[in-house]
């Protein structure tokens, strides 16, 4: 049975007492064991002293009436009164703001995005065009992302190439040709992106699975000559590459859940080639996006650990998606942090950042689904570690 780390922390804090890990409405009973001042003040207005005392053990109450009252109070306190708070989960880091190192917001959605960021406690957003496939019928202009950062330089940081460079790589791979003129054009495009003020390249992908309509499949070995060229350009400029790649250890059949889409029947192994990309230029930081998520089931803690140990220029951004059917989960179904992920973050406190992957251009105000998961994660991290992942690491990486 999977042990959740929230449980482990509380057990540790209270001196090894075995709390029940039952949840109601996605809430852990442990939130009542040590509520912070704000939450306690609010809970006290909804529950009487006797009830609070009964709940303070952090165990699931046997009394059904109390369970209901507690659930209602918790919901009210965390959803309706969080006006000045960035979070709705009431945990120990619930007021910490953070840098979102991976999202998609252009100038078109900037004002809605800013509102959303404020309500979710996001201090800054690294915004980048999503990866675009050759022939994809979609209008994405990298300049719209540049403009967001130019208009709000204190709020947005621009990464470019998802719509231009990424398409060029996959086009070249499909054609099987690599003329010098293509290398030249690729280099010039990358330089233009840097001249526009980009602090990195993204979202670049080597393996992107199609999960819904108008969501493209893209697959090119991560050590393709243009990826290596991009690594050299990024290394020289001192900027990172934000890299989306589903992990495939060995050639494998496409997971049944995503069959019947434009994905191929067999997915080709890509980890060895990914390691060649990282080893190609050690001056280049590769941010492997979406740790804690994945549709092949192979981006495990074990694999992440192995690669972080072997490649000092590897960083990872954490994505938590409540919806969808990712095969890898960082929070379990009741929202508790899975202990093996905490062990990994603790082992590499300087190598993780947060990347919501919110798509603000669809509907900026409602694009908070993944951010709720991030807040839930922050609430369960030891404060020092939360500070590293939310602030210190992205600041250092992006020179903020
Ligand atoms: Zn992505």
pLDDT in tens, 7-63: 444 333 333 222 333 333 446 788 888 887 777 877 776 788 888 899 998 888 888
- Ligand 1 center–CA 356 separation, angstroms: 10
- How far does the centroid of ligand 1 lie from the alpha carbon of residue 245, in Å? 8
Does 365 score more than 70 pLDDT? no
Going from the Cα of 286 to the center of ligand 1, the distance in angstroms, rounded, reads: 14
- What are the structure tokens assigned to 11, written together? 């057990």
Q: Of all helices (H) and strands (E), which one includes residue 352?
A: strand 352-354
Res 342: pLDDT: 96
CA 350 to centroid of ligand 1, rounded, Å:
22
Q: End of a domain among 50, 84, 118?
A: 84
Residue 89 lies in a domain: no
Q: Is residue 131 part of a domain?
A: yes
Rounded Cα–Cα distance for residues 40 and 81 (Å): 12
Boundary-marking domain end, from 55, 84, 113: 84
- Chosen domain end from 84, 112, 130: 84
Q: What is the pTM of this model?
A: 0.79
What average pLDDT score do residues 252-271 get?
A: 92
Same-domain check for residues 155 and 9: no
Across 89-103, 143-157, 201-215, least confident range: 89-103
H or E segment at 309? Answer: helix 301-310
Report pLDDT for 324.
63
Three-state DSSP class for 250?
A: coil
Tell me, yes or no, whether 125 and 69 share the same domain.
no
* Contact call for residues 147 and 106 (beta carbons, < 8 A): yes
Q: Are residues 70 and 172 in the same domain?
A: no
Residue 105 lies in a domain: yes
Percentage above 90 pLDDT, the chain: 63
Instruction: For residue 130, report the distance from its CA to the centre of ligand 1, in Å.
Output: 7
Q: Is residue 93 part of a domain?
A: no
Span from the CA of 4 to the centroid of ligand 1 (angstroms): 26
Residue 13 lies in a domain: yes
For the chain, give the mean pLDDT. Answer: 86
Number of folded domains in the chain? Answer: 2
Sequence-distant (≥ 6) Cβ neighbours of residue 339 within 8 angstroms: 2, 3, 4, 5, 8
Residues 30, 103 within the same domain:
no
Is residue 226 situated within a structural domain?
A: yes
Q: Are residues 167 and 42 part of one domain?
A: no
Give residue 71 CA to ligand 1 midpoint distance, Å. 35
- Going from the Cα of 79 to the center of ligand 1, the distance in angstroms, rounded, reads 29
Q: What is the DSSP letter of 243?
A: E
Alpha carbon of 292 to ligand 1 centroid (Å): 12
273 with 295, same domain: the answer is: yes
Give the tens place of pLDDT for each residue, 66-103. 888 888 777 666 653 333 333 344 566 767 999 999 99
* Shared-domain flag, residues 130 and 271: yes
Report pLDDT for 6.
43
Give 357 Cα–ligand 1 centroid separation in angstroms: 7
Same-domain pairing of 15 and 129: no
> 328 and 306, same structural domain?
yes
CA 104 to ligand 1 centroid distance, Å = 10
Q: How far is the CA of 214 from the centre of ligand 1 (A)?
A: 14
Q: How many CA atoms lie within 13 A of 45 on its CB side?
A: 8
CATH number for the domain that contains residue 242: 3.20.20.140
Domain that holds residue 70: 5-84
- In a domain? residue 42: yes
User: How far, in Å, is the centroid of ligand 1 from the Cα of 10?
Assistant: 34
What residues sit around ligand 1, an ion, with C-beta below 5 angstroms?
244
If asked whether residues 124 and 195 sit together in one domain, one would say yes
- Ligand 1 geometric centre to CA of 127 (Å): 12
Least confident range from 176-180, 304-308, 312-316: namely 176-180
- The verdict on 126 and 77 lying in the same domain is no
pLDDT, average across residues 179-188: 97
Peptide bond into 365 cis (omega under 30): no
Query: Do 73 and 117 have their domain in common?
Result: no
CA of 270 from ligand 1 middle (Å) equals 16
Residue 324 within a domain: yes
Q: How far is the CA of 207 from the centre of ligand 1 (A)?
A: 10
């Amino acid at each position: 049975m999977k042990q959740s780390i929230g449980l482990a922390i509380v057990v540790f804090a209270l001196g090894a007492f075995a709390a029940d890990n039952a949840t109601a409405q996605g809430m852990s009973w442990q939130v009542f064991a040590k509520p912070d001042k704000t939450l306690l003040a609010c809970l006290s207005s909804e529950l009487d002293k006797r009830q609070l005392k009964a709940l303070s053990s952090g165990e699931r109450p046997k009394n059904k009436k109390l369970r209901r009252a507690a659930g209602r109070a918790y919901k009210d306190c965390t959803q309706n009164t969080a006006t000045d708070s960035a979070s709705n989960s009431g945990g120990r880091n619930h007021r910490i703001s953070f840098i979102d190192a991976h999202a998609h917001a252009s100038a078109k959605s900037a004002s809605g995005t800013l509102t959303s960021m404020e309500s979710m406690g996001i201090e800054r957003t690294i915004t980048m065009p999503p990866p675009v496939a050759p022939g994809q019928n979609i209008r994405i202009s990298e300049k719209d992302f540049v403009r967001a950062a130019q208009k709000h330089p204190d709020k947005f940081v621009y990464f470019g190439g998802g719509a231009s460079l990424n398409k060029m790589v996959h086009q070249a791979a499909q054609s099987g040709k690599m003329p010098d003129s293509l290398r030249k054009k690729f280099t010039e495009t990358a330089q233009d992106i840097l001249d526009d003020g980009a602090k990195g390249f993204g979202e670049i992908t080597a393996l992107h699975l199609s999960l819904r309509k108008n969501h493209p499949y893209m697959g090119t070995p991560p050590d393709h000559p243009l990826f290596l060229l991009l690594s050299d350009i990024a290394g020289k400029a001192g900027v990172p590459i934000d890299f989306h790649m589903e992990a495939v250890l060995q050639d494998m059949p496409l997971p049944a859940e995503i069959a019947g889409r434009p994905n191929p029947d067999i997915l080709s192994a890509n980890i060895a080639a990914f390691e060649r990309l990282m080893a190609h230029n050690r001056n280049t930081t590769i941010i492997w996006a979406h740790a804690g998520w994945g549709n092949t089931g192979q981006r495990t803690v074990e694999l992440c650990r192995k690669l972080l140990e072997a490649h000092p220029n590897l960083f990872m951004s954490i994505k938590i998606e409540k919806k969808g059917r990712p095969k890898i989960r960082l929070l379990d179904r009741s929202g508790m942090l899975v202990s093996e992920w905490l062990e990994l973050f603790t082992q590499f406190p300087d190598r993780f950042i947060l990347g919501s992957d919110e798509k603000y251009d669809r509907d900026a105000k409602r694009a908070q689904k993944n951010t709720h998961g991030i807040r839930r994660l922050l609430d369960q991290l030891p404060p020092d570690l939360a500070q590293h992942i939310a602030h210190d690491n992205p600041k250092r990486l992006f020179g903020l």
